[in-house]
Structure 1
Amino acid sequence: MPLTPELVTAKGEVAARLGEFDLSFAPDDEPWFTIDGIESPRQIGSDGSGGAFVLLPSQNVLYVSSEGRAGIIAESFEAFIQLVIARPYWLDILKFSAGGDLAEMRRAADALEATRDDEDDINEARDEIRGALELPEAGDPIGALYEAVAASDAIVRATDGSPFTTLFNRFSIDNNRMLRNAAA
């Protein structure tokens, strides 16, 4: 049986632990974006910065940021949960992707992982979530994230009709002293 948002929310303790990874399964009530070709997008959750997670009819998971960026981030809901628990800073990986360079994304992931505090708590939460959902560890979450965003063809628009831009950002970790030092 494939993993679904309903299965996760039915396990309240799992949904609560996912909150530690900045994932809430309480979607926004008011629509603030549209997706070309999709009448009623199914928002399944949100993050602390106001971004929305949408489960598309294709079963891909789309992320819509409150800053006007959007893109598919996972090929399925299960891949999305694997990404979130393997790399909770996945959005920062995209921010420091140097315009969508996979090698730079891997470099950013290593630097971001090196800066994590409370790693024991995160690892405990990862293990508990994987165990409760019988979820295997993600093989290559960064590669999967890159592939999903690079192939993203969803056109998301603000309420005024202006299109959102890609999730790949132009920065690299060299633009951030803390990350640059962590990578050294």
Structure 2
Amino acid sequence: MPLTPEILTANSEAIARLRSLDVSFAPDEEPWFTVDGVDSPRHVGSDGSGSAFVLLPSQNVLYVSSEGRAGIIAESFEAFIQLVVARPYWRDILKFSGGGDLAEMRRAADALEATLDDDDEVNEAREEIRGALALTETDDPVGALYDAVAASDAIVRATDGSPFTTLFNRFSIDNSPTLRNAAA
């Protein structure tokens, strides 16, 4: 049975551990964006910055950043949770994607993972969530993230009607001394 928001929210252990990876499943009350062609976006969660996770009718998961960026990040709710567990720094992978370059995203993922090597809390959270939800590890979470964002056709608009921009950002890890050193 595929993982759904209802199955997840019934598992308090997984919910608590996902909070430590900056994902909360208490949806916003106030709509602050619209999605073209979707009458009532199903807001299933948020992160610490106030950004939203939306389950679309297609079952894709849309990320709507509080900073005016949006895009599909996973092909299903289960793929979204697998992404968060495998790469909790997925937003930084997009930030340092070099404008949507898969090779640059892989470099960023490797550097970001190197910075977490000694972070027992993240590694424990990963294992506990996988165990609590019987999740398998994905073969290529960075490739799946790239594919989802690159194919994203969702148009998200602010309440004033202005469209949000892509989740791919122009930076590379070379713009960050910490990540550049971690990759060396």
**TM-score after normalising by structure 2:** 0.98
1:50 aligns with 2:50: yes
Distance 1:114 1:133 in 2: 26
**3-state SS in 2 of match to 1:115:** helix
Give the counterpart letter for 1:169 in structure 2: N
Distance 1:117 1:144 in 2: 22
Distance 1:178 1:101 in 2: 20
Partner deviation per Cα, 1:14-64 (whole Å, 9 max, x = no partner): 101100110000011000000000000000000001110000000000000
**3-state SS in 1 of match to 2:174:** helix
Deviation >3 Å, runs of 4+: none
Residue 143 of structure 1 aligns with which residue?
143
Give the counterpart letter for 2:17 in structure 1: R
Distance 2:116 2:139 in 1: 21
Distance 1:109 1:56 in 2: 27
Give the counterpart letter for 1:134 in structure 2: A
1:12 aligns with 2:26: no
Q: Give the unaligned 5+ runs of structure 1.
A: none
Partner deviation per Cα, 1:108-154 (whole Å, 9 max, x = no partner): 00111111265222222111111111110111000000000000000
1:21 aligns with 2:21: yes
Residue 96 of structure 1 aligns with which residue?
96
Give the counterpart letter for 1:44 in structure 2: V
State how many pairs are aligned: 184
Give the counterpart letter for 1:7 in structure 2: I
RMSD between aligned residues: 0.9
- Tell which deviates more after alignment, 95-104 or 130-139: 130-139
Q: How do 1:20-169 and structure 2 match up within 5 A? A: 20-116=20-116, 118-169=118-169
Distance 2:167 2:111 in 1: 19
